[in-house]
Amino acid sequence: MLQADQQEVNHILETVDRIAKDTQFGSINLLDGSAGTNGVTNGAGLEFIGATEKSQSSGVNGYEVNITHASTRAEHVGAKPLSQSVIDAGEQITLTKGGKTGNFTTREGETVEQTLNRLGEAIKDSGLALELLRPEPGTTDGKLPQAVHLRHKQFGSEHNFTVASSSGGVLSVKGNTSEMLQNGTDLKGEINGEKASGRGQVLTDAHGKGERRGRAGSLR
């Protein structure tokens, strides 16, 4: 009988914990204790993201946040520019990210600018979390060769994408060979003089002082 009662108590406690964890208003947890925690930042580009029920009060002087390395995104520039001869030969480009794949083939007679315009639209239509970086409009001749420059939309070391081109150097080093790019980096820095953990643009203190995003500054 006692064992059955204890099982019932454990079940009730698990239910309460689940409700506390899952009850939200928008993205804000309401019952886990973190809703009563807030922060004010002082520093350009610094943002208080959130805290947990274990977060400690900073006191009136706040915590100093020192960013030692800004986060970056995975990025790649083809070594071989996209020229008219490459376009006319029917260059094939394949981009892959998170289970999504975008295939693109150049068309004979299209200019470099027309080809890159179409490539940019193809990337958007495929739903890939990538962007095609281009020179400012009017600063280059649309018929001159240009390198294909791709960048992930998300910051951090965990984000990657794969490229392949039928001609070596246009995107992949070797023709028709897939190449993974994962050269993004995470935010690095200190909170209150202690090394903090970075993930993308978010810096998290190991002792429960909360999460911050951005540059150097202070938190209260």
Q: Where are the domains of the chain?
A: 33-71+186-220, 73-181
Closest CA to 150 of 202, 86, 102: 102
Q: What is the pLDDT of residue 218?
A: 41
User: Integer distance in angstroms from the first to the last C-alpha of the chain?
Assistant: 52
- Region 160-180: mean pLDDT is 97
Question: For residues 51 and 119, which has the higher predicted lDDT (pLDDT)?
Answer: 119
- Region 179-205: mean pLDDT is 91
- Could you tell me the two tokens for 39? 């922060």
Average pLDDT, the chain: 82
- Region 150-176: mean pLDDT is 97
Contacts of 13 (CB under 8 A, 6+ apart): none
- Region 172-197: mean pLDDT is 93
CB 31 within 8 A of CB 17: no
Q: What is the pLDDT of residue 114?
A: 95
Topology of 73-181 in CATH? Immunoglobulin-like (2.60.40)
Contacts of 173 (CB under 8 A, 6+ apart): 79, 179
Quickly state the pLDDT bin for 106 (edges 50, 70, 90): very high
Q: What is the pLDDT of residue 2?
A: 47
Tens digit of pLDDT for each residue in 63-76?
888 889 999 999 99
Q: What percentage of the chain exceeds 90 in pLDDT?
A: 52
